[in-house]
Amino acid sequence: MSTSTETLAFLREVRLFKDIAEPELMILGQSLQERPLKRGQVICREGDPGEEMFVVRRGSIVISKLVTGRVEQVLARIGPGDFFGEMSLFDRSPRSATVQADSDATLLALDREGLRRMTEVSPKAAAAFFHALVLIFIERLRASGDLVAEVTRWGLEATGLDLDSR
């Protein structure tokens, strides 16, 4: 895909790409493929194979995880500038959650081949992309750790166990 001025302007506003210089951003833009979605359309299901990540360009996306049987827990609602699916891009693991369009939406997809091409054409663009990705991974990991601690506290309170009394 050639990088339009509109796409370039959007990418400049995306946190994941904000530190990438314009020449490298244009190369990155050429590696992205636009995917239009209708409201309710499933992008991927938990357990599906995956080899690409997505940036939300327009609309709203819901990420959910199967809890038990047919019960799903919404993990996040994300919108323009947010991204998901990056784990499968790197480790070829099955999708860890189900992702569905909450409204009509447009995604920009970066697949393994696009990432390889960007890395070969511009190692500088790839380095900036990976650096931003690592910082966001760290932030997400810290938030997950905080959530685990909070859920554990709720569980202990629900059992009536008072850890402060020891």
Number of domains in the chain: 1
Q: With beta carbons less than 8 A apart as the criterion, state whether 38 and 101 touch.
A: yes
Residue identified by tokens 């990056």 is 86
Give the integer Cα–Cα distance in Å for 89 and 136.
15
Determine, yes or no, domain membership for 106. Answer: yes
**Higher per-residue confidence, 166 vs 11:** 11
CATH code where residue 144 lies: 2.60.120.10
DSSP 36-59: EE-TT-EEE-TT----EEEEEEES
The answer to whether residue 138 is domain-embedded is yes
pLDDT digits (tens, 9 = 90+) for 9-68: 999 999 888 878 888 888 888 889 999 999 999 999 999 988 899 999 999 999 998 888
Residue 166, domain member (yes or no): no
Residue 165 lies inside a defined structural domain of this protein: no
More confident residue, 2 or 133: 133
* Cβ-based neighbour number of residue 115 at 10 Å: 20
Give the domain range for residue 39. 5-159
Quick check: is 134 in a domain? yes
Q: Which tokens in the block code for residue 148?
A: 């685990």
Q: Give the Cβ contact number of residue 59 at 10 Å.
A: 19
pLDDT band at residue 161 under the 50/70/90 scheme = low
